[in-house]
Structure 1
Amino acid sequence: MAKDYCVLGIESSCDETGVALVQVTDQRLPVLLAHALYSQIEMHQAYGGVVPELASRDHIRRVLPLTTEVMSASGKSLSDVDVVAFTRGPGLAGALLVGAGVACALGAALGKPVLGVHHLEGHLLSPFLSNDPPEFPFVALLVSGGHTQLMRVDGVGCYQVLGETIDDAAGEAFDKSAKLLGLGYPGGSALSELAEMGNSAAYKLPRPLLHSGDLDFSFAGLKTAVMVQAKKCAMAQGCAVEALPHVVLADLASSTQAAIVEVLVKKSLAALMRTQLKRLVVAGGVGANRDLRAQLNAECKKRQVCVHYPELHLCTDNGAMIAMAAAMRLQSGIQIPSEVYAFDVKPRWPLDAIQAVDA
């Protein structure tokens, strides 16, 4: 690759369509030139969750207009694109195929190579887009959708899993608990907003695996405990769970959030102690949670540990993280883009299974 080149990134793994353009120069880190994002939340709200077929069709409608928007905002043209990157997995198979198909078609039309990116690697490296980028090595708390993992990160492509969820992830615990409380979709953000109005000590909920001695997570039992407590409250009030007084729902939400956050914080601190590293990166949608950030900031300050997050608007799925991950893999020399446009996708793809060179 030349020293100065542009990478176009396309994200379509679930219910957000994201496109972004980054530029790689002699500078230490690639630079984000422009990005655009379309969320399908409103469309899926009527169904209480993501409908894969609808998600795939909507990606088809959105990806090219978003690409045009990004190129216009960046002041570049498609002829300036040197590599087209796309989310190869994990995610919804149909949704992934849309992004992969468009990326490979663009690459073939432009005569430029393509590169498939791991969705979670995009999240993991997204803090490098922030105004306070981390340095290697670090411990990473990856909390995105159905994934909760602690990893030791020694460089791009050098990932060691320290602990991971054995059932429900933190994001699923937020979403499923919110659904039990009748908060609708998307549940996680609704529960977090309601939690700010409640008393986090109102109900004693379990902290699964908090004292297990390892770095694994389990949130399925917490979801069950929330359901049991909500039914007890509803029985006492003589109403359905959804009809509970606002103050009761707020206390339930706050107590639920407190349980999830305490586990995430203490396991992260344990990972730092075990690895003896002094840098923590938090990435993924749950990383935007205010209570989680506040507690991690306070605890890391006590221990003289630097903690880094992506910008709030880049915590959700987005094209910028895909373009950035691709650019960093190219810049580090551990992967070369492919000029073969026969693509496949990997709906299930463990992050620690990434090879140094994975064409």
Structure 2
Amino acid sequence: AKTLAMVWDKPLIAVNHVHAHLQSAMISQEDKLRLPAVAMVVSGGHTSLYECKNALELTLLGSTINDAAGEAFDKVATILGLPYPGGPNIERIAKNGNPKAVNFPRTMLGAESLDFSFSGLKTAVLYHCCGQDMKGQNRCKDMSEQELADIAASFQWSVIDVLVKKTRRAAEKVGAKTILLGGGVACNSALREAMAQMAQNTGRTLLIAPKQYCTDNGVMVASLAYYKYKAGLFADLTLEAKAGSE
């Protein structure tokens, strides 16, 4: 990108990958955005909450301290013997399961915390399938389809319950009028429905990225770059890529 900007004499624009996921929630529905807003990115690598004052001004409110939600989906799918990617496959079998069948933990990290932790939930699923001492074999291969569906549904609901409650907590903290939801896990229909119900119950507008723009895509990057271009926010040739930046 730096080479092309220099050769073609074009402006260079730095785009934060995570922020671009949030921008995808506003594609074709910017007119519905009421500020201030709370924005959640939930994916395989990130589970983060932001206060959004405008399209370009984001303040990190909380993030995962270990496994991201999407990472937990992938790891639990492996435990259950499901193929990669884990998220869609857990969602698929969870549709036939009982989300109350197994009382998996919800880690809230305190009454005021906006951070996330899903490693304990993942471990709880592992213990449920292999035993507390981890000396037994994984029982999943001998389970019925209904048992697997119940575990998947219970795990999925534990994740969703935390995501929705933390988002509501953040919205109340900043007085948000709008909730934005983006990232690969935002494809999950149960999460979308639960967020929609929470937003309706609390009188807030919910903007969710269209499913085709939830995973990594060029449209979200171009959309954020458009706003930065309009604002004249250009980078110079000393710009370096930074992995893992919030």
On whether the aligned pair clears a TM of 0.5, the verdict is yes
Partner of 1:311: 210
Partner amino acid, structure 1, of 2:28: S
- Structure 1 residue ranges (4+ consecutive) displaced by more than 6 angstroms after TM superposition: none
Q: Cα offset for 1:278? A: 1.7
Structure having greater relative contact order (Cα 8 Å, sep ≥ 6): 2
The 2-side partners of 1:149 and 1:162 are apart by: 8
Find out whether 1:256 has 2:152 as its counterpart: no
Partner amino acid, structure 2, of 1:286: V
Q: Cα offset for 1:343? A: 5.4
The structure number with the bigger radius of gyration is: 1
Count of residue pairs the alignment pairs up: 241
The 2-side partners of 1:147 and 1:346 are apart by: 15
Match of 2:88 among 149, 171, 189: 189
User: What is the DSSP-based 3-state SS (H/G/I as helix, E as strand, rest coil) of the residue aligned with 1:345?
Assistant: coil
- The answer (yes or no) to whether the contact 1:201–1:255 under 8 Å persists in 2 is yes
Alignment of 1:159-308 (within 5 A): 159-209=58-108, 212-232=111-131, 240-308=139-207
Partner of 2:240: 344
Alignment of 1:86-125 (within 5 A): 103-125=1-23
- The answer (yes or no) to whether the contact 2:129–2:139 under 8 Å persists in 1 is no
Partner of 1:323: 222
The 2-side partners of 1:217 and 1:301 are apart by: 24
Match of 1:142 among 13, 29, 41: 41
CA distance change for structure 1 residues 278 and 156 in 2, over 3 Å: closer, same or farther? closer
Note the alpha carbon deviations across 1:76-125, whole angstroms, 9 max, x for none.
xxxxxxxxxxxxxxxxxxxxxxxxxxx33443443323222110111121
Output the TM-score relative to the length of structure 2. 0.90
The 2-side partners of 1:136 and 1:288 are apart by: 24
CA distance change for structure 1 residues 343 and 273 in 2, over 3 Å: closer, same or farther? closer
Instruction: Compute the RMSD of aligned alpha carbons.
Output: 2.1
Q: Percent identity?
A: 37
Partner amino acid, structure 2, of 1:323: A
Q: Cα offset for 1:347? A: 1.4
Q: Cα offset for 1:337? A: 4.8
The 1-side partners of 2:244 and 2:215 are apart by: 19
User: What is the DSSP-based 3-state SS (H/G/I as helix, E as strand, rest coil) of the residue aligned with 1:317?
Assistant: coil
| Gapped regions of structure 2 (runs ≥ 5) | none
The 1-side partners of 2:244 and 2:176 are apart by: 30
| Gapped regions of structure 1 (runs ≥ 5) | 1-102, 351-359
Q: Which is richer in strand?
A: 1
The 1-side partners of 2:28 and 2:77 are apart by: 30
Partner of 1:152: 51
The 2-side partners of 1:192 and 1:347 are apart by: 29
Partner amino acid, structure 1, of 2:25: P
The 1-side partners of 2:150 and 2:170 are apart by: 30
